[in-house]
Chain A
Amino acid sequence: GEDVEQSLFLSVREGDSSVINCTYTDSSSTYLYWYKQEPGAGLQLLTYIFSNMDMKQDQRLTVLLNKKDKHLSLRIADTQTGDSAIYFCAEIGSGGYQKVTFGTGTKLQVIP
């Protein structure tokens, strides 16, 4: 079945870049997503990438996809304290319904 893995924790200083990594197993993944979850809140869709793309940039966010290694990363430039949250990588396969499989989440701590 599908599996999505992430490291649990990342700590960076304000102003530095953050890189959050994710690996997945489903070779039929069509879209891969990054979601942000702040304490006590639901999930906010940050960005997504189609599986035939290598890179996508969206303001401070850069997504890199290595489909051969099934590796996805999210780079946040000029990380701010407001970026402190849990970040989830997720993928959707090519099945008949739109099931999204989430990773375990990476907690990003931004130190002022």
Chain B
Amino acid sequence: ETGVTQSPTHLIKTRGQQVTLRCSSQSGHNTVSWYQQALGQGPQFIFQYYREEENGRGNFPPRFSGLQFPNYSSELNVNALELDDSALYLCASSLMGQGAPYEQYFGPGTRLTVT
């Protein structure tokens, strides 16, 4: 158990809708990263938040947005859902600023299906 929780576990949405996924970081961690894992693929980096600010972004369009709250929990929002957004969404928490190594602890993921 990593102490990182995500909700909901599964979600089914229709194309064009909006979705919000939630993540609760491990206690003491100040950084959260979100990844999209399509079936049979490795996780792809979406973005990272450090102390409530976006700290880096992968090759995802602006309709993917996020928030990090003062308690370091986080949300991933996806607008105008497309069929290709169907995937497992993983959040990972870590502690940045304390030196090496950089260890991310993953939650169990949210399985999003877009129909």
Q: A residues engaging B (CB < 8 A)?
A: 4, 30-31, 35, 40-45, 48, 50, 88, 90, 92, 95-105
CB–CB A48/B45 < 8 A: no
Compute how far the CA of A31 lies from the CA of B103 in the bound complex, rounded to whole angstroms.
10
| Given A4-B42, A96-B56, residue A41 in contact with residue B101 (CB < 8 A) | no
| B58: chain A residues within 8 A (beta carbon) | 99
B42→A103 contact, CB < 8 A: yes
CA distance A92 to B56 in the complex (A): 13
Q: What's the least CB distance linking B36 to chain A, in Å?
A: 11
Q: Are B90 and A98 neighbours in the complex by a CB distance under 8 Å?
A: no
For the complex, give the distance between the alpha carbons of A41 and B56 in Å: 25
Within the complex, what minimum Cβ distance (angstroms) separates B87 from chain A? 13
A103 to B103 Cα, complex, angstroms: 17
Looking at B13-21, B60-68, B76-84, B104-112, the stretch in contact with chain A turns out to be B104-112
CB distance from A58 to the nearest CB of B (A): 13
**Does the CB pair B56–A48 fall under 8 Å?**
no
A42–B90 CB distance below 8 A: yes
**Chain B window 35-71, contacts with chain A (Cβ cutoff 8 Å), 1 for yes, 0 for no:** 1000011111100101000011010000000000000
Contact of A48 among B42, B48, B103, B108 (CB under 8 A): B103
Tell which of A4, A42, A102 touches B2, judged by Cβ atoms closer than 8 Å. A42
Instruction: Tell me whether A98 and B103 are in contact (CB under 8 A).
Output: no
CB of A42, distance to nearest CB on chain B (Å): 4
- Tell whether, in the assembled complex, residue B42 and residue A42 are in contact, meaning their CB atoms are under 8 Å apart: no
B56 touches A95 (CB 8 A): yes
